[in-house]
Structure 1
Amino acid sequence: MEHNGLIISEVEAGSIADELGLKPGDKLVYINREPVRDVLDYRFLCANEELVATIITQRGEEWELEIEKDYDEDLGLDFGENSFGPTRRCHNRCLFCFVDQMAPSMRETLYIKDDDYRLSFWQGNFVSLTNVGEKELQRIIDQKFSPLYISVHTTNPQLRCRMLNNRHAGKIIEQLERLTQADIEMHTQVVLCPEINDGDELKRTIDDLSRLWPQVCSLAVVPVGITRYREGLYPLRPFNREEAGQVIDLIEAYQQQFLADREYPFVYASDEFYLIANRPIPPYERYGDFPQTENGVGLVRLFLEEWEAVEQELPDNISPPRVITLTTGVSGAVVLNPVVKRLNKINGLEVKLEAVENSFFGKTVTVTGLVTGGDIIHALDGKELGSKLVLPSVMLRDGEDIFLDDMTVDQLSVKLGIPISVAEGPEDLVREILD
């Protein structure tokens, strides 16, 4: 008998599973005769008060365990890296795909294209739904995978098939309508490409998605990212200042209408559009409940709000005097320039701001989060940097001290011959500068 299921990596001491004698290495195969394909099945099927769990032990024995427990009480099992099994891969060939524009010879994980609806629910990954058939769609509905994060790009079926290079991509509205009827919450995004899905096509997309509100909770519009590694790919170009301003004008007109009708803005231009257009960042209330900060929507406004509070507590003088260098990407410098000017009014403090051009991906990439350690060395090597270099945490892999090019902060510190601190937000930034 062939079994699927999840291999147990850890059993919580004193838990139901521990009392039943389950051990790491045993496999959970079924709950109530339903197959356990991943941790989401496990969580969903474990909610009941009466369970029959089918286990295959390390010795190959098959156990059927009858369990009575409180509703939503966990069995005490952890499946570690086996929690989801194989990740569902992306089968699209999007003409704007950033992974296809990655530099060669980087770590393997940077080339992985996931398109897994389970990870959309679990981690907030954006998915296209092009590999979701009736069976998977029904599972989303039955197990209430909500909210989901969905890459729409356009609601024009023919255009979406062309942009994603997938003949199954044109049914997105039907899929969203089905999920809407099942009361699944969705956050959506559009990667906007000049002269492809902007203008009237963007209007159509906003109109179509807004009709599915409030289940479609938000729509973020972000500009296409272009690196220097586009040989053999579809000819794309970045937005210029005037075009970015036109996108903002269109979106803000919709926001005015939605705020009047629904008291919620619904659609948002990413911060990068405002920086490209050299426009002021909108006020706090234009971001609703900030539903898409991970997509670069509203991060600058949150930074500015925090900075205004921190600014009130700045000292007039510091001693001993010091020189500090703050580094950021080209777009980030626009935000940090007034911050640095204010800090330099403190007697005894000189803060230098170094905007690092992206030589790794190309100068068209201006966001701070894609600056590499090599870019910083290229920009700062040989310069007088003072007693410390402070860099923003968005340059590093989440929770680690590694840049995209696999250089560590310590390695960068040795190369530049200066101590380096990492700051997350204005309060942290000021602490690192004044400490």
Structure 2
Amino acid sequence: MSPVAVSPLSHRRVDLAPGVPGLIEAVSPASLAMELGIEPGDRVVGINGLPLIDALDFQFQAQAENVVLDVERAGSLLRYDLELEGDEFWGVTFADPTFDGVRICENACPFCFIKQIPKGMRRSLYVMDDDYRYSMLYGSFVTLTNLSEEDWRRIENQRISPLHVSVHSTDPDLRVALVGNPKAGRVMDDLARLEWAGIDFHAQLVLVPGVNDGPNLDRTLRDLASFGSRLRSIAGVPVGLSRHGQERQSKQLRLSRTCMRTLPGKSIAVRRYERDEALAVIAQAQSWQDRFLRERGDPFFYLGDEFYLMTGREVPVAAHYGGFPQIEDGIGITRHFLDSVDSYLRRANTDSLAGAAGTVACGELIGPTMR
């Protein structure tokens, strides 16, 4: 039998392409797939004669009223001709959610965390992904700079939502420099298109001291505030630099990135926040949170826990985080942890823990909180 076909989009730059695209890893009990006799190890070839790109494509195509599902098993083709009544629980888990691999980043962010990973780690850690499908499935942040018109139409038609977008700044020139891609300057148009299409999105701002905080942060928040309810939340996190990352922040490297030369001085000095600078960001954020609380009903703009930890400020209470919309980005994870521990201790028999000692491995920043 010929290999499983995948979408023509597979000509894109990808990594970690699965050896067996469409491979089914698990089938849930009491599901349509189990009722049909579909088994782990089978692989989906297509639906209604069309190849599939990923698990999202399967979910969309498999909800049609009439479905012809082609499945390969041990070299033989099984065809299921179905008439469906509505939303069906297929109960299929794929070994790889993207059948054509992971879309690769086309940017050159000066604070790229992938380039800060030391050598000798597992290969998958070095994959510089910028894949809107993982953004919807797992909350990964994307820049939207590598979307083709076909990608946009698919997002719109299949209602791939919500997306998580790394904005950093709405100043076109500054975002070009922070993302390292000339296409990055059209971010407001891209976000407006998402809103027009009815796609929900969350925004992230990686804040660099003296670069996109202060007046530029005010501009960015003011611009983002122009979007309606499709913009679900905004996160502001301090730039992270590991020892390996600091070693790479040389002037020569920054000047080599031609897309950064739109800024005066032709470079961006990326460094960590000092305590007084972090306190200024907290105060600035508080002003915007008060405004958003009046206008939108919640603080809406949430700072990364690091700002509070590095300044010795207590992290906000749980109610501040409005349901923790960006906890996957680490926003509010400290408060969530503290409240979870407190809840556990109230329920547990703590008498048996009296005098007990233990060791918890953690990062330096969270150390005082853990004590």
TM bucket (normalised to shorter chain) is 0.7 to 0.9
| 2:219 pairs with 1:204 | yes
2:154 is the counterpart of 1:139: yes
Contact 1:8–1:77 at 8 Å: present in 2 too? no
CA distance in 1: counterparts of 2:346 and 2:45, whole angstroms: 59
1:113 matches 2:128: yes
For structure 2, the 5+ residue unaligned runs are 7-20, 255-268
SS of 1:176's equivalent in the other structure is: helix
- Residues 1:50 and 2:66 aligned together: yes
- Write the mapping of 1:17-28 to structure 2, written as runs, cut at 5 A: 28=44
Q: When the two structures are superposed, what TM-score results if normalisation uses the length of structure 2?
A: 0.80
Q: Aligned equivalents of 1:271 and 1:196: distance in 2?
A: 20
Amino acid at match of 2:304: S
Q: Which is further off, 176-185 or 318-327?
A: 318-327
* 2:326 matches 1:292: yes
Do residues 84 (structure 1) and 118 (structure 2) align? no
Distance in structure 2 (CA, Å) of the matches to 1:256 and 1:32: 52
Residue number in structure 1 paired with 2:48: 32
Q: Deviations over 1:107-153 (max 9, x none)?
A: 21221111110011111111111111221111111111111111111
Cα drift, residue 280 of structure 1: 2.4
Report the TM-score when normalising by structure 1.
0.69
Corresponding residue number in structure 2 for 1:167: 182
Give the alignment partner of residue 192 of structure 1, picking from 199, 207, 228. Answer: 207
Name the CA shift for 1:24/1:289 in 2 (closer, same or farther; >3 Å). closer
**Counterpart contact for 2:165–2:202, Cα < 8 Å:** yes
Judged with a 3 Å threshold, the aligned counterparts in structure 2 of structure 1 residues 51 and 104 are, in CA distance, closer, same or farther, namely same
Alpha-carbon separation, structure 2, partners of 1:76 and 1:291: 26
Please name the residue that 1:231 is paired with. 247
- State the AA in 1 paired with 2:5: N
Higher mean C-alpha displacement, 137-146 vs 11-20: 11-20
Query: Runs of 4+ in structure 1 displaced over 4 angstroms?
Result: 10-27, 54-61, 74-78, 307-322
**Which whole-Å CA distance do the structure 2 matches of 1:323 and 1:15 have between them?**
47
Which of 264, 270, 290 is equivalent to 2:298? 264
1:94 aligns with 2:95: no
Question: Closer, same or farther in 2 for the Cα pair 1:316/1:10, shift >3 Å?
Answer: closer
- Taking structure 1 as reference, are residues 46 and 107 closer, same or farther at Cα in structure 2, changes over 3 Å only? same
Could you give the per-residue CA deviations for residues 299-343 of structure 1, whole angstroms, max 9, x where no partner exists?
A: 222233345445656878658954434443222123233xxxxxx
CA distance, structure 1, for counterparts of residue 37 and residue 125 of structure 2: 40
* Corresponding residue for residue 234 of structure 2: 219
1:149 matched residue in structure 2:
164
Distance in 2 between the 1:218 and 1:15 partners?
Answer: 35
Kept after mapping to 1: 8 A contact 2:24/2:44: no
Structure 1, residues 91-112: CA drift from partner, whole Å, max 9, x if none? 1110011111111222212211
1:34 CA displacement: 3.6
The 1:283/1:55 distance shift into structure 2, 3 A limit, reads closer
Q: Is the contact made by 1:11 and 1:22 (CA closer than 8 Å) also made in structure 2?
A: no
Q: Distance in 2 between matches of 1:19 and 1:306?
A: 40
Matches within 5 A, 1:319-358: 322-337=356-371
Alpha carbons 1:46, 1:74 under 8 Å: kept: no
**2:186 matched to 1:177?**
no
Q: Supply the AA of the counterpart residue of 2:100.
A: G
CA distance in 2, matches of 1:323, 1:195: 43
- Structure 1 129/82 Cα, relative in aligned 2: closer, same or farther at 3 Å? closer
Number of matched pairs: 336
Would the alpha carbon gap of residues 257 and 82 (structure 1) be closer, same or farther in structure 2, given more than 3 Å must change?
A: closer
> Contact (CA 8 Å) 2:171, 2:220: kept in 1 or not?
yes
Residue-by-residue CA offset, 1:355-377 (whole Å, 9 max, x unaligned): xxxxxxxxxxxxxxxxxxxxxxx
Alpha-carbon deviation of 1:58? Answer: 5.2
Measure how far apart 1:261 and its partner are.
Answer: 1.8
Report the equivalent of 1:69.
Answer: 84
Question: How big is each residue's C-alpha offset from its partner over 1:251-296, in whole Å with a ceiling of 9 and x where there is no partner?
Answer: 1100001111221111011111011122222233321121111222
What amino acid maps onto 1:260 in structure 2?
Answer: R
Give the letter for the 1:4 counterpart: A
Larger relative contact order (CA 8 Å, sep ≥ 6): 2
Q: CA–CA distance in 1 between the matches of 2:179 and 2:170?
A: 12
Q: What root-mean-square deviation, in Å, do the aligned CA atoms of Structure 1 and Structure 2 show? A: 2.9
- Seen in structure 2, the aligned counterparts of structure 1 residues 178 and 311 have a Cα distance that, compared at 3 Å, is same
Distance change (3 Å), C-alpha of 1:32 and 1:254: same
Structure 1 residues 318 and 120, CA gap change in structure 2 (3 angstroms): closer
Q: 1:241 to 1:15 in 2, by over 3 A?
A: closer
CA contact (8 A) 1:241 1:278 kept: no
Q: Which residue number corresponds to residue 249 of structure 1? A: 283
Matched, 1:274 2:274: no
Structure 1 counterpart SS, 2:243:
coil
The aligned amino acid for 1:250 is Q
